Structure 1
Amino acid sequence: MIDLYTWITPNGLKTSIALEEFGWPYQAHAIDLTKGEQFSDSFRKISAGSKIPAIVDHSNGLILLESGAILTYLAEKTGRFLPTSGAERYAVLEWVFWQVGSLGPTLGHAHYFLTYHPDAAPAASALFTQETKRLYEKLELHLTGKDYLAGDYSIADMSVWPWVSRFERHKINLNDYSAVRRWYLKIAQREAVQRGYRVPFFTGDIPLPLPLTHDTSEHSEERL
């Protein structure tokens, strides 16, 4: 059994999605960031830096922080969604690290300046608008002609997808990025992703882009 300490953030969601994909038994504990519960003495015993997500693996007593490390640990523990060696393994880890070091921080700032404080700092808003588009262009280029980020579906996709699911908050129209849109919708259909998206509790359906008016196959899209 794994205890997952989490909240309704992209980093939290990618961990719950991963646990659902791996099919590993776990219990989710909501750490309400809006109430400052991450700074409680009880949670600091688990996460000294007051960050979510965190897991406690009761099979071996391991306490582990940082979502990228957690996904890698779960993949190695179960032998799934991460090749064991060779170039294929490093291709997956490359995109996990890209999300942790580039996509996540940039989009986190984009949420802050473009959605929550749109008039606070025009220069910062312009910077993160530009940087967000640059990262989407990188994703678009890479995903063109591919189903997933690194070969088969992997922890790379689990890591990146929850951040893209916040496209409305960072003012991105997914219809401008056809390859990203296709990849996003394909993953959104996975039952494990839909279950993980509701952890630690249901906050709303998975956001979907507007239907493409020139593509009749998209007319049946509904919120998941």
Structure 2
Amino acid sequence: MTTQTKPIDAYSLPTPNGQKIHIILEELGVPWNYHRIDIGKGDQFKPEFLAISPNNKIPAIVDPEGPGGQPISIFESGAILKYLGLKFGQFYPTDPRQQVAVDEWLFWQVGGFGPMLGQNNHFSVYAPEKIPYAIKRYSDETHRLFRVLNTRLEGRDYIAGDYSIADIAAIGWAQSWERYGISKQEFPNFGAWIERLNARPAVERGLNWGKDVQSKPLNEDKEAQKVLFNQR
């Protein structure tokens, strides 16, 4: 089992993507430091953050004990999850067929489940013009993705066999199911899964990490919206 003597630095916020990293670090039980990147104030555009996250998005990590014992920085939540799972030999299988299953559902989340729910939220809550077609388009796709997840969980406790980074990737986004009009009665396998994950102490800690810092709700913070939306 790999040990970690120096803390891993996590540059993040308690958003669904940031929560993935908080959860896996808590699950691994390794030392880590939390560095709050206030994206509403433009911290993500500072040169020191861009040096480790050139896409100016959270989360990112710096592992001072990377490959060969040298520091390594990693951006993109899926890449971080896979790196940590491989490094510590937890939550990512060693069997190649099982790895494929985890990768499929990890990429399903980062390529679809997260972005589509994000677009749903944007056009429903933040868009200055309420465009019925866009709202319906992303609402329908959100419902479809929850149905896909529910179907996958038929007869399974976790998405890809054992509890893995595939579950960790999805749980933060899935927490907003009520906002998207999703019903546990319609999707009972999903309902059982989310309750199962929420019962894990590390998941609870990871989901709540950083929420002690109070900030103005984004839908009320016009200055933050200027920073976050409609940039070229």
Q: Does 1:184 align with 2:190?
A: no
The one-letter code of the counterpart of 2:15 is T
Q: Which runs of 5+ in 1 are unaligned?
A: 205-224
Question: Equivalent residue for 1:169?
Answer: 179
- CA displacement, residues 32-51 of structure 1 (integer Å, 9 cap, x when unaligned): 11111111222122212211
Note the alpha carbon deviations across 1:27-67, whole angstroms, 9 max, x for none.
01111111111112221222122111000001131000000
8 Å CA contact retained: 1:29, 1:200: no
Q: Distance in 2 between matches of 1:198 and 1:139?
A: 24
Kindly state the Cα deviation for residue 192 of structure 1 after the two structures are TM-superposed: 0.2
Partner of 1:47: 53
Q: Quick one: which of 161, 168, 172 aligns to 1:158?
A: 168
Post-superposition offset of 1:203: 7.0
**Are 2:11 and 2:61, in contact at CA under 8 Å, matched by a contact in 1?**
yes
Alpha-carbon contact 1:109-1:128 (below 8 Å) kept:
yes
**1:218 paired residue number:** none
Letter in structure 1 aligned against 2:182: I
Distance 1:25 1:90 in 2: 29
* 1:42-191 matches, cutoff 5 A: 42-59=48-65, 60-117=70-127, 120-191=130-201
Count of aligned pairs between the two proteins: 204
**In structure 2, what residue type is equivalent to 1:46?**
I
The 8 Å contact of residues 124 and 130 in structure 2, kept in 1 or not, is answered as no
Look up the match of 1:222: none
Question: Where does structure 1 differ by over 4 angstroms across 4 or more consecutive aligned residues?
Answer: none
Q: Distance in 2 between matches of 1:72 and 1:106?
A: 22
| Alpha-carbon separation, structure 1, partners of 2:139 and 2:211 | 30
- Deviation readout 1:42-97 (Å, 9 max, x if unpaired): 21222122111000001131000000000000001100111113211111111001
Q: Percent identity?
A: 44
Distance 1:117 1:174 in 2: 28
What is the TM-score normalised by the length of structure 2?
A: 0.83
Query: Is 1:10 the counterpart of 2:20 in the alignment?
Result: no
Structure 1 length-normalised TM: 0.86
Contact 1:118–1:125 (8 Å) recurs in 2: no
**Counterparts of 1:51 and 1:157 in 2: how far apart (Å)?**
22
Q: 1:119 to 1:172 in 2, by over 3 A?
A: farther
Q: Gaps spanning 5+ residues in structure 2: where?
A: 1-6, 215-232
What residue is the counterpart of 2:209 in the other structure? Answer: 199
Deviations 1:109-141 (A, max 9, x none): 011112334852111000011101111111111
